[in-house]
Structure 1
Amino acid sequence: MTAQLVCSTGDLAPEEAMKVEVDGANGPVEVALARDADGGWHAISDVCSHGAVSLSDGEVEGCLVECWLHGSQFDLRTGAPLQLPAMRPVPVYPVTIDGDRVLVDVDVTVTAGTH
C-alpha cells in the first residue's frame, strides 16, 4: 500500500490529536495523528503500549502525547516511552503533506533518526 489520505491540514490545530483508521497490508490500523507545538505532523500507533487505550484521547504538549489512563508519555517523533508505566515504544508512521492533504503510510514504520 501507499500513503493514504486521512484528513486535511485544517482539521487539527497545533497540540491536538485525532484518531484515524488507515488500511494496511494486514488490515485496518488505528493511528493517532497529532500536531506538535510547532505545527509539525506526526502519526503513531493509537494504542498505548501499556494500557491498550487510545493515545489520541490524551493531551499533546510539545512533541509528546500523554496517555489519559495511566500518564505514560510518548515522543511523537520516535514513539519512545518517556514516562512510566509504559516501557515499550509504539510504532511511528511517515506523514506526507501534499497541499492541504495529510497522508499516512502504515505499511512503513519510521525509526528514530530516519525522518
Structure 2
Amino acid sequence: MSEEPAWIAVAAVDDVAPGATLEVVAGDAIVALANVDGEIYALDGICAHQGGPLGKGKLVGCTLTCPWHGWQYDVTTGRQMLSDTIRQSRYQLRIERDTILVRLSDV
C-alpha cells in the first residue's frame, strides 16, 4: 500500500495577491500558484509546449498565459485553452494559518 504524498509548505498567502502568479518549488517539482479572486490554484509550473515557466506568466481571470510562447491554460481545470486533450496537472492545495501547502498528487 502506497503512502499519500506529503503536504509541502511553498509560500505565504500574501505572496500571491489576487490576479497574480508565483513560481515555487515543492520537493522536486516546479509549481505555478495563481490567485483568482482570492482562490489560489496550484498546477504543474512547466508549460506542456516547450517547458516555459507558467508561474511567471500573466493571469487574466482564470486564464494563465505562458510567458515564452503564449500557450494559455485555465488554472481551475489545468486545460490548455485550445485543446481538449492537453492538460497541466493540478495539485491539491490547502491553507494553514497564512501558509500555502501543496500535495503533489493530481486532482
Q: How does 1:1-115 map to 2 (within 5 A)?
A: 1-23=5-27, 28-36=28-36, 38-83=37-82, 88-106=86-104, 108-110=105-107
The count of residues paired between Structure 1 and Structure 2 equals 103
CA apart distance, 1:12: 1.3
Cα deviation code 1:64-90 (max 9, x no counterpart): 100112211101111100047xx6211
Cα deviation code 1:16-51 (max 9, x no counterpart): 11111111xxxx011011111x11100001111012
Change (3 A) 1:69 1:83: farther
Q: Provide the C-alpha distance between the structure 2 equivalents of 1:53 and 1:71, rounded to a whole number of angstroms.
A: 10
In proportion to residue count, which structure has more strand? Answer: 2
For 1:109, the aligned partner's letter is D
SS in 2 for 1:93: strand
For 1:97, the aligned partner's letter is I
Aligned sequence identity (%): 30
The CA RMSD over aligned residues, in Å, is 1.6
Question: Structure 1-normalised TM-score?
Answer: 0.83
